């Protein structure tokens, strides 16, 4: 019997595997008849070879130009449908909300959450947890004066911190994270943390590191090929950080159970435990500790990250565009004087309101939104998209839609102003996404952004550190688009 040379045998084996994969892919593609078009995938790797793995949204924006508002890409052996442009995204998320209302099952998040929580959960679990979360957030003041007072209180602590630098350069990332996080912490835990609390600082550090690591190419590859999970890399660090966060959260449960008063709930955790007690006899209850742990972590991360990052972008852009900063301050002086800003003032401060909206649009913090999945078979704009297909909503293409924004690549507050200087709502302004999966904390985030931003501009003028002549607005790599590391000078007015 003839035995080939080992190298030849290996080559033959590889060619055989490639051939089989090609055949399998071909058979799989039979079920994707009338599927959205896209770049031709290679065996095994799909379209990974054409992707900017550190900034995949840039690749998707380029493909949008080539293939139009509905196209497909393949990551490994998994197909994705990409929805781009305001018209298509709105049609999918609003008019076809049921079909596009699921979340994609992403390996790293499945490993971390096991399908629990609110942000990335599915089916009935998601419905129950979302309903509970929104109801409880409203009960504890979301959108009301009670939570507005908490924001104003936190503004005072933040102003004191900025004043302590006496106009000298400092990094504002951790203090902004802490100030914004304390709002959701007050609702979830029923208390605030001191800005210097070591445990609090550690939690924020874990979240920041995790969001940076999620953008590493090895994490994208792990999601495409979970079999490589045994390899060392950022994916393991993300999961380790999540375990530490969860350990802190679950470690607090005993305290809340000990002081639980069903007639006087002072936090979301206590409200959850009351529901848990009510459903003790229900073996299929969703009110169990795993869901509570994930809901608390979801709210902590979401309640801190996007708002604090938007505010940091705001200060950075005010340093880059001092004329815009001056106009905001003039409007603050005219409308408020030295009075404390409240959310109701936004209607009489059109320029400030426009600037805040433009900060969110320009910063484009979640360019690919959070991942969707088709809950049913969908016939959409002439294409057939099977149930269980992963869907990427390219929010960057919506916030840069030339049909709705005159200068989409520039920071231009006039996008939200009419010829008379009045504030104008833009239907393509969707930083919180839309439809069934719209951000549950949108109302809270809008209130935080207006009060924090206005209070800071009322008290300080933001300037570049000595020797720095320009501001780099290139975003850092991460799951969310944060500013590059930088220093600011907050000069008291």
List the chain pLDDT tens, one digit each, 493 residues: 333 444 334 433 444 454 455 445 444 444 567 999 999 999 989 999 999 988 999 999 999 999 999 999 999 989 999 999 999 999 999 999 999 999 999 999 999 999 999 999 999 999 999 999 999 999 888 877 889 999 999 999 999 999 999 999 999 999 999 999 999 999 999 989 999 999 999 999 999 999 999 989 999 899 989 999 999 999 999 999 999 999 999 999 999 998 888 888 999 999 999 999 999 999 999 999 999 999 999 999 988 999 999 999 999 999 999 999 999 999 999 999 999 999 999 999 999 999 999 999 999 999 999 999 999 999 999 999 999 999 999 999 999 999 999 999 999 999 999 999 999 999 999 999 999 999 888 999 999 999 999 999 999 999 999 999 999 999 998 889 999 999 999 999 9
pLDDT score at 9 = 40
pLDDT score at 26 = 46
pLDDT score at 88 = 97
pLDDT score at 288 = 95
pLDDT score at 275 = 95
Separation CA 7–CA 9 (nearest Å): 5
Separation CA 288–CA 140 (nearest Å): 21
Separation CA 106–CA 77 (nearest Å): 14
pLDDT score at 86 = 97
Torsion angle of the four alpha carbons 470, 474, 477, 480, in this order, in degrees rounded to the nearest 10: 110
Separation CA 456–CA 155 (nearest Å): 8
CA angle at residue 82 from 76 to 83, to 5 degrees? 170
Asked whether 209 and 478 are in contact (CB, 8 A), the reply is no
Q: Is 439 annotated in some ligand binding site?
A: yes
Helix (H) or strand (E) holding 256: helix 253-258
State pTM to two decimals.
0.91
Separation CA 359–CA 366 (nearest Å): 13
pLDDT score at 155 = 96
Asked whether 211 and 305 are in contact (CB, 8 A), the reply is yes
How many other CB atoms are found less than 10 A from the CB of residue 194? 12
Separation CA 461–CA 325 (nearest Å): 8
Burial class for 400, CB neighbours closer than 10 Å (0-12, 13-18, 19+): buried
């Amino acid at each position: 019997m003839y035995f080939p040379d080992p190298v030849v045998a290996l080559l033959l084996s590889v060619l055989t595997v490639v051939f089989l994969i090609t055949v399998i892919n071909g058979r799989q593609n039979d079920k994707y008849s009338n599927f959205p078009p896209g770049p031709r995938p290679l065996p095994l790797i799909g379209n990974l070879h054409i992707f900017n793995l550190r900034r995949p949204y840039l690749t998707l924006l380029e493909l949008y130009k080539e293939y139009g508002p509905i196209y497909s890409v393949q990551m490994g052996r998994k197909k994705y449908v990409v929805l781009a442009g305001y018209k298509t995204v709105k049609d999918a998320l609003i008019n076809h909300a049921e079909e596009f209302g699921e979340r994609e099952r992403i390996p790293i998040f499945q490993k971390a959450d096991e399908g629990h929580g609110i942000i990335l959960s599915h089916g009935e679990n998601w419905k129950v947890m979302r309903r509970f979360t929104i109801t409880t957030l409203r009960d504890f003041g979301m959108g009301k004066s009670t939570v507005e007072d908490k924001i104003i209180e936190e503004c005072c602590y933040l102003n004191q911190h900025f004043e302590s630098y006496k106009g000298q350069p400092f990094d504002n990332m951790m203090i902004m994270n802490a100030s914004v996080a304390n709002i959701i912490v007050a609702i979830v835990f029923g208390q605030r943390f001191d800005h210097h609390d070591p445990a609090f600082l550690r939690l924020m550090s874990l979240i920041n590191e995790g969001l940076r690591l999620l953008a590493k190419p090895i994490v994208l590859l792990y999601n495409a090929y979970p079999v490589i999970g045994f390899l060392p890399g950022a994916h393991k660090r993300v999961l380790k950080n999540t375990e530490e966060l969860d350990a802190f959260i679950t470690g607090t449960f005993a305290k809340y159970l000990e002081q639980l008063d069903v007639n006087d709930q002072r936090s979301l955790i206590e409200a959850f435990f009351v529901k848990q007690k009510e459903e003790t006899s229900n073996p299929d209850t969703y009110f169990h500790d795993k869901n509570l742990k994930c809901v608390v972590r979801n709210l902590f991360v979401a309640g801190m990250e996007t708002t604090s990052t938007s505010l940091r972008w705001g200060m950075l852009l005010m340093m880059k565009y001092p004329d815009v900063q001056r106009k905001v301050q003039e409007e603050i002086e005219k409308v408020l004087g030295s009075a404390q800003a409240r959310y109701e003032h936004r209607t009489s401060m059109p320029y400030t309101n426009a600037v805040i909206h433009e900060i969110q649009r320009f910063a484009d913090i979640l360019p690919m939104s959070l991942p969707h999945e088709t809950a049913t078979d969908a016939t959409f704009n002439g294409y057939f998209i099977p149930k269980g297909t992963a869907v990427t909503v390219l929010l960057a293409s919506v916030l840069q839609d030339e049909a709705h924004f005159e200068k989409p690549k520039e920071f231009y507050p006039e996008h939200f102003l009419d010829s008379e200087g009045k504030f104008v709502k833009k239907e393509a302004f969707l930083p919180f996404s839309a439809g069934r999966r719209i951000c549950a904390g949108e109302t809270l985030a809008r209130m935080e952004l207006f009060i924090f931003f206005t209070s800071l501009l009322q008290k300080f003028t933001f300037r570049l550190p000595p020797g720095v002549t320009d501001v780099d607005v290139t975003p850092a790599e991460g799951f969310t688009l944060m500013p590059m590391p930088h220093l600011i000078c907050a000069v008291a007015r």
